[in-house]
Amino acid sequence: MAAAALVFRNIVITGASSGIGAALARHYAAPGVTLGLVGRDAGRLCAVAAEARAAGAAAVEGALDVRDRVALTAFLIGFDAEHPVDLLIANAGVLDGRRADGSIEDADAARRVIEINLLGATDTLHAVLPGMRARGWGHIALVSSLAALSPVTDAPAYSASKAGLLSYGKALRAALAGEGVRVSVVCPGYVVSAMTDSHIGHQPGKISADAAARLIAAGIARNKAVIGFPRVLYALAMITPFVPEAINRVATRGIRFHVVPRDL
Ligand SMILES: NC(=O)c1ccc[n+]([C@@H]2O[C@H](COP(=O)([O-])OP(=O)(O)OC[C@H]3O[C@@H](n4cnc5c(N)ncnc54)[C@H](OP(=O)(O)O)[C@@H]3O)[C@@H](O)[C@H]2O)c1
């Protein structure tokens, strides 16, 4: 449903220390805006906060792991008390999957990916949601992936975590309809970042993190339920469930990949 764009003054972005999250911080940084920036790497987070301040914004850094629910909730509730959040972008995420030797992810890797990408995001939004509901105002954007629509052979837990987030976001959007709190789910294709550096394989339609941030911000401003891009890959991902398994397997051969392990 098209609706008037909200004006965002107090914005929280998780996963702000690199890639898409850092680009979103740069995009929204402006005089009169306060950014709450979350990530694990204090040094990279500090550099993003400094860029935001140079653009005239205020910035509060939360160097923490989204799996640490106590620290995460304390930071977000503290930030919200000082700066009532009107835009929350739950973007922190990791990729794991098939390794160069062909081995598939083990149980620990699957758990870690789902804890960060899905439970980290739900813990994030639930720390901020009561304040938004009480104020009857706000927008929550959950950064999922096209892998939510078209599960990726080489990253089962990643696909599951992102499908879970898509489903959660769509249901939450419906549940909050009429309360003034909006929810969008972002489904990017390939974007230049440390994550795609660790993804060894063909990445068609790859765009810069700054371009992704602009598309995400435009989709949020239009209150889109699902912000999927690039357009062609989004359309292909949408029809995947209707394509016979054997055809899909052949069609996706060219985008098989392996992951170079990072500190997850
Ligand atoms: N790049 C793509 O092609 C692509 C496509 C679809 C969806 N996405 C999604 O976009 C989001 C951003 O990814 P990106 O591509 O920008 O990758 P990135 O450059 O690796 O950034 C990931 C961000 O998430 C943070 N993060 C990871 N684990 C965390 C944890 N446990 N606690 C707190 N922060 C954590 C990282 O912070 P630290 O490094 O400081 O820990 C970093 O700021 C992810 O959710 C990803 O799944 C990306």
pTM of the full predicted structure? 0.97
- What are the beta bridge partners of residue 74? none
pLDDT digits (tens, 9 = 90+) for 160-211: 999 999 999 999 999 999 999 999 999 999 999 999 999 999 999 999 999 9
Measure CA of the first residue to CA of the last residue in the chain; give whole Å: 37
Pocket test residue of 191, 192, 208, 260 for ligand 1, highest count of atoms within 8 A of CB: 191
- Residue 4's pLDDT band, with cuts at 50, 70 and 90, is low
Looking at ligand 1, which residue's alpha carbon is closest to its atom 17? 195
H or E segment at 58?
strand 58-63
Does residue 225 sit in helix, strand or coil?
A: coil
Report the candidate in 28, 149, 130, 151 with the shortest Cα–Cα distance to residue 81.
130
pLDDT digits (tens, 9 = 90+) for 217-250: 999 999 999 999 999 999 999 999 999 999 999 9
Report the candidate in 148, 146, 188 with the shortest Cα–Cα distance to residue 168.
148
**Helix, strand, coil in percent for the chain, rounding step 5:** 50, 15, 35
Tokens 């969008």 — which residue? 184
Q: What percent of the chain has pLDDT over 70?
A: 97
- Residue 1's pLDDT band, with cuts at 50, 70 and 90, is very low
Q: Which of 28, 158, 168, 190 is catalytic?
A: 158
Helix/strand number for the chain, H first, E second: 10, 9
d(CA 136, ligand 1 centre) in Å: 29
Residue 213 contacts residue 24 (beta carbons within 8 Å): yes
Ligand 1 neighbours by CB, cut-off 6 Å: 14-21, 39-41, 44, 65-67, 91-94, 116, 120, 143, 145, 188, 190-191, 193-196
pLDDT digits (tens, 9 = 90+) for 52-94: 999 999 999 999 999 999 999 999 999 999 999 999 999 999 9
State the pLDDT at residue 130: 98
Instruction: Give the integer Cα–Cα distance in Å for 215 and 139.
Output: 16
State the pLDDT at residue 3: 58
Report the candidate in 92, 100, 149 with the shortest Cα–Cα distance to residue 121.
92
| Buried-exposed string 19-30: b where 16+ CB fall within 10 A, e elsewhere | bbbbbbbbbbbe
Active site residue 190: no
